[in-house]
Amino acid sequence: MKTNQDVLSILDFSSKDIRELLAIAKVLKHMEMWGQSPKPLLDKTGILIFKKPSLRTRASFAIGLMQLGANAITFHDFEIQIGKRETPEDAAQVLSRYGDVIIMRTYSQKEIEDIAKSATVPVINALTDLLHPCQVLSDAFTILEAKGKLEGIKVAYLGDGNNVAHSLLNLSSRVPIDLRIAYPVGYAPIDGIVEFAKKAGVSKITLTNDPIEAVNDADVIYTDVWASMGKKEELAERKLQMQPFQINSSLVKYAAPDYVFMHCLPAERSNEVTSDIIDSKHSIVFDQAENRLHMQKAILCYIFQANIEVE
């Protein structure tokens, strides 16, 4: 029987849970800065499964586990071949006998949900084509650091209605923000995810095909690559559709004077964002990347109910 919760979506957390995660991440970051990293996960083992390439996600989870005193072992897709050589259900049951948490980065949300149903240890979604919950939780932590608050912050996300956009919508059903998502016709976020966020009634949510409407007076401007992994063959067509949504010096003039720029990386400079923006004083993309480490550690501490004292 599973005793610790899965993290398949931000919706697995309540508003209170998210506030606690943010507080834990803050404490862990400060402790790490002072060389006082606690080791609450001694003798635990995290099993990482990567069916997609990864830099920040793999590094942050593997290093985070080790900093918390746990071991980390990584499998690539060719080694397990889930869905071909092993069924998700069989792989989940075997890995549950070996490790204490399964962290998976894959294409299909259904696949990770199938893993979670059969696993007897917690399963963490490290990215699917549908959702990117750990990324957006660490983004919330980064915005909180940069702006001193989350409530009421105007967040403009421009580009494809992808897994980041979906997780921002999920966040908006838990944390009161002013979320604007701007996208070309045909690239909208999934209707069901949008409707759930709107019905929650927590945040102001605007969907638009006008990038200026989204960016107007925004505190945060956020974008992602125009063609995610598995969709690179569509890049030429997407470039034609997405060009008006590029984050550049002309567009950011409409934002708040002290706006911050965010990107989950890797960036394709000169496509979704120009180098003068990503390298500007407004950019916090590397703070955002660093905070993946602190939030992954916070998530791990939370699901294992580690005793981390917060203010």
Q: Is 180 a catalytic residue?
A: no
Per-residue model confidence as pLDDT tens digits over 76-96: 989 999 999 999 999 999 999
Bond before 266 cis per omega within 30 degrees: yes
Give dist(CA 102, CA 302) in Å, integer: 15
Structural domains present in the chain: 10-131+292-303 (3.40.50.1370), 133-289 (3.40.50.1370)
The answer to whether residue 58 is catalytic is: no
Q: Which of 224, 238, 288, 296 is catalytic?
A: 224
pLDDT of 218-242, one tens digit each?
999 999 999 876 666 788 889 999 9
Give tens-digit pLDDT for 40-78: 999 999 999 999 999 999 999 999 999 999 999 999 989
- Which of 105, 166, 238, 263 is flagged as catalytic? 105
SS3 1: coil
Here the tokens at position 149 are 């608050």
- Catalytic, 264? Answer yes
Work out the pLDDT band at 309, boundaries 50, 70, 90: confident
- Name 171's Cβ contacts closer than 8 Å, sequence gap at least 6: 10, 18, 136, 137, 140, 177
Is 105 among the residues known to form the active site?
A: yes
Query: Catalytic one among 100, 134, 135, 246?
Result: 135
> Please, which pLDDT band fits residue 251 given cuts at 50, 70 and 90?
very high
Instruction: Examine the residue annotation and report whether 269 is marked as an active-site residue of this protein.
Output: no
**Among this protein's residues, is 224 annotated catalytic?**
yes
Catalytic choice (56, 58, 132, 238)? 132
Of residues 105 and 311, more confidence is placed in 105
Question: What's residue 311's pLDDT?
Answer: 67
Per residue in 104-159, pLDDT tens?
999 999 999 999 999 999 999 999 999 999 999 999 999 999 999 999 999 999 99
How confident is the prediction for the chain on average, in pLDDT? 95
Whole-structure pTM value: 0.96
Q: What local confidence, expressed as pLDDT, does residue 33 receive? A: 87
3-state secondary structure of 262: strand
Q: Quote the pLDDT of residue 235.
A: 80
Task: From the candidates 114, 180, 238, 264, give the one annotated as an active-site residue.
Answer: 264
The percentage of residues in the chain with a pLDDT greater than 70, rounded to a whole number, is: 98
Among 58, 174, 238, 292, which one carries the catalytic annotation? 292
Determine phi and psi for 266, rounding to 5 degrees.
-75, 150
How many whole angstroms separate alpha carbon 83 and alpha carbon 85?
A: 6
Q: The tokens 């939370």 sit on which residue?
A: 302
Using the predicted structure, report yes or no on whether residue 263 has a pLDDT greater than 70.
Answer: yes
Question: What is the share, in percent, of the chain residues with pLDDT greater than 90?
Answer: 91
Q: Which pLDDT value is given to residue 229?
A: 65
Distance CA 69, CA 84 (A): 34
pLDDT at residue number 234: 81
**57 near 293, Cβ under 8 Å?**
no
